[in-house]
Structure 1
Amino acid sequence: MEIQDDRKSTCRAPTPIFSYTGGRPDRNSESVQNHREKILHQITNHPIFIHNLQAGFHMSELLAVATITILAVISPGPDFAMVTRNSYAFGARTGLISALGIGCGVQVHVMYTVFGIAIIIFSSPTLFTIMKLSGAGYLIFMGYQSFRNRAPVALGETPRHAPSGWEAFRMGFFTNALNPKTMLFVVATYTQVVRTDAPMMLNFAYGLFMSVAHIIWFGIVAFFFSSPRMRCRLLAHQSMVDKVIGLALMLLGVSLLFTHHPMEGGN
C-alpha cells in the first residue's frame, strides 16, 4: 500500500529575488544585451539590493565622520590649553565642566550648519570677520589673564580665585563657539562627507557624536592633568606654566586673525 506524501503539496520553491518573464533571448547580440539589461534592472531596483547599498553608504559615511572628528579633537588647540590650565590649577571638577562646555560649544556650529544658516555666514565676509575677531579677542583675553596670574595655588587647597561651575562651563563653551576653525571643521564635514539627502535625525546624530567625542577626550585630559602627581609637578613651577599656557592662548588667538574666509580661497 502506497503512502502519499502530503508534503509535496505544501512545499513551495523559494521566491526568487528577481524574475524575468521575457522568454529565452535570441542568439543575436542585441537580444542578449537586452536580456542582460532587464535582469540588471530588476536586481538593482530590488528592495534588498537598495537596502544593502544604502547601508554600505551609511557605514562608510559614519567611518569618515568619526575619523575626521577624532583627528580634529585630539589635535592641540585653544580648548586643550584651556582645559589643561583649569585642570591642574583648579582640579578635576573645573576641568570636566570646561570639557562639557567645549562639547556644547560644538553644537552651536552643528545647529546652524544643519539648518542651513552656515550659508549666510559663508556668503558674508563681514559676519565671518566678526566671529573671527570675537574668538581671537576671547582667547587673547584668557591668555593674558593666565600670563599675568600671580596667585599661588597649593595642592589640596581650593584657590579663592577658582572659577565657579558656570564660569568654567562658559570658558569651555565660548572657546569653541567663537572659534572659526571649529566652524570650518563642522561645515566642511557636513558639506564634503555627509550626503545632502541625509535624514535630519542622522545629521543631528553626527553632531551629537562630535560633541560627545570632545567631552570624552577633554575629560581624559582633565583627569590626567588634575591627578595629584601631575598637579604637584606643574604647581611646583606654576608661574612658568601659567605664562607658557597664557602665551600659547594669546598666540592661538592671534592665529585666528589670519583665518581666511572660505570665499577668499585661503588656507
Structure 2
Amino acid sequence: MYIEVFLVGLLAGMSPGPDFFVVLCNSLRFGRHIGVATAIGIGSALMIHITYTVLGFAFLLHQHPALFRLVQGLGALYLFWLGYHAVKASVSELDLHMNKNTAAQPEKTAVKGFIEGFLCNALNPKATLFFLSVFSQFLSSGTQTWVGWVYGLEIVIAVALWFTLLSCLITNDRFKRLYQRYSYWFDRILGAVLIFFAFKIFVSFFV
C-alpha cells in the first residue's frame, strides 16, 4: 500500500499544473538553485493539505462552500500575478533584445523562490480534492491516524523529489543554452499557461 501511495503522489506531481510551471519558470529564468528552492516550497505547502486532511479539516471546507470559494479566489489571483509578471518580464526582455541592450537578468533569492512555490501550492484548491480522493481510497475508519501521516509524508517526498529532479534536468548546459536563445518565448508561454490556470479557476466559480 505504501508503494501505491508513493506512486500516486509521484504521478500527481508529474502531471502538468500550476506547480509544474512555477518550478519550470523559476528554474529556467533564475537557475537550478532557485528552482530547487521552489520545489522545496511546494513540498512544504503540501504539509498544510496533509494536516487539515488528516485532522478532518477538508470536511469543513466542503461544509462551508464560501470558505472553499475564498481559497479558490486567492489561488487564482496568485497564479494570475505570477503569470502576469512572467509575461511582463518576457516582453521587457524581447524589447531589450531587439534594441541590442545587454542588461543583466534580474535576480531572485532562494527565499523568494521558496515562498512562490509555497503559496502556489498552498492556495491551490485542487490540492484539497486531490488529498481527499487519495485518502478516501487508502484510508478507512479502522486505519490508525499515524498511517495517514505516513501516507502524507510519502506524497510530500515524492512530489518534492520530482520537482527537484525537474529543476536539475532543465538547467543542464544544453537546455540552458536553448533557453538563453529563446528566453522571451519560453517566459511568455509559461506565463500564459499560469494565467490560463487562473482563468480556469475563475470560470469554475460560475459552473
What TM-score do you get using the length of structure 2 for normalisation? Answer: 0.88
Q: How far off is 1:99 after superposition?
A: 0.3
Q: What residue number does 1:44 align with?
A: none
Distance (Å, rounded) in 2 between the aligned partners of 1:175 and 1:193 = 26
Asked whether the 8 Å contact 2:5–2:154 carries over to 1, the reply is: no
Query: Residue 70 of structure 1 aligns with which residue?
Result: 10
Identity fraction in percent: 29
2:29 aligned with 1:84: no
Aligned length: 197
Shift of 1:136: 0.6
* 1:259–1:111 Cα change, 3 Å: farther
Q: How does 1:237-248 map to 2 (within 5 A)?
A: 237-248=182-193
List gaps (5 residues or longer) in structure 2. Answer: 97-103
Instruction: Please tell me the root mean square deviation across aligned C-alpha atoms, in Å.
Output: 2.0
Q: Are the counterparts in 2 of residues 89 and 231 from structure 1 also a CA contact under 8 Å? A: no
For the pair 1:208 / 2:148, whether they are aligned, the reply is no
Residue 259 of structure 1: how far off its partner (Å): 4.3
User: Partner letter of residue 128 of structure 1?
Assistant: F
Find the counterpart in structure 2 of residue 112 from structure 1.
52
Q: Which residue of 1 aligns with 2:111?
A: 166
| Partner SS state of residue 162, structure 1 | coil
In the alignment, structure 1 residue 257 sits paired with structure 2 residue 197 = no
Secondary structure of 2:140's counterpart equals coil
Match of 1:184 among 129, 152, 156: 129
CA distance, structure 1, for counterparts of residue 146 and residue 81 of structure 2: 38
Q: Is residue 2:65 matched to residue 1:125? A: yes
2:141 maps to which residue? 196
One-letter amino acid matched to 2:175:
M
- Runs of 4+ in structure 1 displaced over 3 angstroms? none
Q: Is residue 2:163 matched to residue 1:221? A: no
Q: Quote the offset at 1:203 in angstroms.
A: 1.0
Between structure 1 and structure 2, the one with the greater Rg is 1
The offset of 1:151, in angstroms, is 4.4
* Inter-partner Cα distance in structure 2 for 1:137 and 1:121: 19
**Which ranges in structure 1 are unaligned for 5 or more consecutive residues?**
1-60, 154-158, 261-265
| 1:80 partner amino acid | F
2:37 alignment counterpart? 97
